[in-house]
Structure 1
Amino acid sequence: MQFSAFILAFGLVASALAADPLVINTPAELIQCESTVITWSGGTDWGTASSIKDNGNIIGDNDLIFDTSYQFSGEAAPAGTTVVFVVSDVSGDQASTAPIVVSNSCEPPFDVVPPRAALT
């Protein structure tokens, strides 16, 4: 019984050591109000994904992702905001994207308050 527990533990350690490094793909662009799928590869088992604005606030946080992608809605980051995506795996390894500036393309722009109609 002890031998099989040792083999199991050895196998888990070996698989963790043999895992490919965690690499996150930086998207070409982020567009305000549009969803973007962030993907990554490598690492071990499940992980977490976060999106962090330039002021350090976390604007998207997903725990226990069992896949290699994260859908960022784009609603929490107005045009001009810089966003960095960070992925962590179960062993504590992390990868992050380069900073990405959010482009404006909402129709109408949601960061501008429309003028009120004149009362007649």
Structure 2
Amino acid sequence: MIHAEMYRAINASNLTAKELDFRETFEAYTSIYVGDNDSHHNYMANFWVDRMADMLEQIHLQLGYSNLNNFLTTFAYPTGIPKDFYKGLAWEGLKYEEVKGWKNKTKEQKDEIDFHIDKAKYGTKNCN
């Protein structure tokens, strides 16, 4: 969804002031990554991970995944689902070495993100 919105804002013909500001900001940002084929993912890693985590946290309980929610609050996170769980989910599509935000993370930070992603994946499996 973020890719689609970025392309729409960058390529729109009758730009609003907000879209024009985004285009100029994004072009300045991508100039930092000259020759980088992954400027969109770098942008997402730098500016969208926290926002995506906030959105995921807000809608999570409304999705109706009662088994996953029970697993997470009972076994994985008995004191409540932490913000880092949602940040881990937001990183899931950005975890590769071409993304500078991922590449610059320490092994411990990467392991923590993977821990949360594994909890989400494990919680969706049936035991039958």
Same fold (TM over 0.5): no
Structure having the higher strand fraction is 1
Class of the TM-score when normalised by the shorter of the 2 chains = under 0.3
Q: Whose Rg is larger?
A: 1
TM-score with structure 2 length normalisation?
0.22
